[in-house]
Amino acid sequence: MARKKIVAGNWKMNTLPAEGVELAKSVVAGRGEVCECVNFIVCPPFTHLAQVIEQVKGSDIAVGAQDCATEAKGAYTGEVAASMIAALGCKYVILGHSERRQYYGETSESLNKKMAQAYANGLTPIYCVGENLEEREAGNHFAVCKAQIEEVVYNLTEEQFASLVIAYEPVWAIGTGKTATAEQAQEIHAYIREVLRAKFGAAAEECPILYGGSCKPSNAAEIFAKEDVDGGLIGGAALKAEDFLAIGKGF
Ligand code: PGA
């Protein structure tokens, strides 16, 4: 079976509600120009998830959140529960993004709880892994990704793993304009799949592994052509519908 091809847009803390609605509208309008085989996902800020979901209704574009709470509900001021996100009609949730690990103290411990919340509410996690520049330069990128997978993904059941999406995002390539080469991406994606195979066996062949980090229309095709790259998690270029869709044409 061929793996799912996915192009997911991580809007981060960008767009006001009206801008987000316009962006979603443009993605829906242009979607027909791209192969139906590509699964598009947009991940707006919490504040306009509902409006964006309304906007993409009737299309095959899915919506995801950028994070969720570790707990189910209760006295956790400022947090947003996975059940709330799911109730809006979200299908996905990005977990473990390097910006959350780096700026908000996200750890494997909190991520295990968030993964459990996501699955308990029928959300598919897009679980992010990746090394920073120092780790890459020291040759530790394999070990870093392995640990990020072992500490979290290895705790999933086979059934949970069957719907998981992984994103490899080297921190040194995020928002820097510096992209991993297609060869670098393939090398680590193949390695990540090997780590998954060690625990989940043949099911690892079905797990989509997305590349993220300055992915744009001009480099998407070369990166997506690699055997173990199943699409992209797109930041900056997801804020322009035209670029976001053009990345989908990279398949
Ligand atoms: P970028 O971000 O495409 O702007 O580098 C990717 C991401 O962080 O998901």
Predicted confidence (pLDDT) per residue in 121-139, tens digit: 999 999 999 999 999 999 9
**Which range marks the domain in which residue 216 is found?**
5-248
CA-nearest residue, atom 1 of ligand 1? 235
* Residue found by looking up tokens 């790259």 in the block: 229
Counting the structural domains of the chain, the total is: 1
Query: Would the pLDDT of 1 be above 70?
Result: no
pLDDT in tens, 90-120: 999 999 999 999 999 999 999 999 999 999 9
* Separation CA 189–CA 239 (nearest Å): 25
pLDDT of residue 72: 98
**Cβ 214 under 6 angstroms from ligand 1:** yes
Ligand 1 centre to CA of 215 (Å) is 7
User: Mean pLDDT throughout 218-234?
Assistant: 98
In percent, how much of the chain has pLDDT > 90? 97
Query: Is 169 part of the annotated catalytic residue set?
Result: yes
Query: Would the pLDDT of 143 be above 90?
Result: yes
Question: Helices in the chain by DSSP H: which ranges?
Answer: 17-30, 49-56, 82-88, 98-103, 108-120, 133-137, 141-150, 158-161, 182-200, 217-224, 241-248
**Would you state the structure tokens that stand for residue 16, as one six-digit string?**
């006001």
The contacts of residue 16 (CB under 8 Å, 6+ apart) are 48
**Would you state the structure tokens that stand for residue 240, as one six-digit string?**
């322009």
CA-nearest residue, atom 9 of ligand 1? 235
| Residues making up the chain, counted from first to last | 251
pLDDT of residue 177: 85
**Cβ 174 under 6 angstroms from ligand 1:** yes
* Separation CA 61–CA 41 (nearest Å): 6
Q: Is 22 exposed, middle or buried (0-12, 13-18, 19+ CB in 10 A)?
A: middle
CB 212 within 8 A of CB 128: yes
pLDDT in tens, 52-72: 999 999 999 999 999 999 999
CA dihedral (161, 220, 213, 60) positive or negative: negative
| pTM score | 0.98
pLDDT in tens, 175-219: 888 889 999 999 999 999 999 999 999 999 999 999 999 999 999
pLDDT of residue 179: 87
Say which CATH number the domain at 20 has: 3.20.20.70
CA-nearest residue, atom 2 of ligand 1? 235
Ligand 1 centre to CA of 75 (Å) is 32
**Cβ 7 under 6 angstroms from ligand 1:** no
Q: Read off the pLDDT band of 43 (50, 70, 90).
A: very high
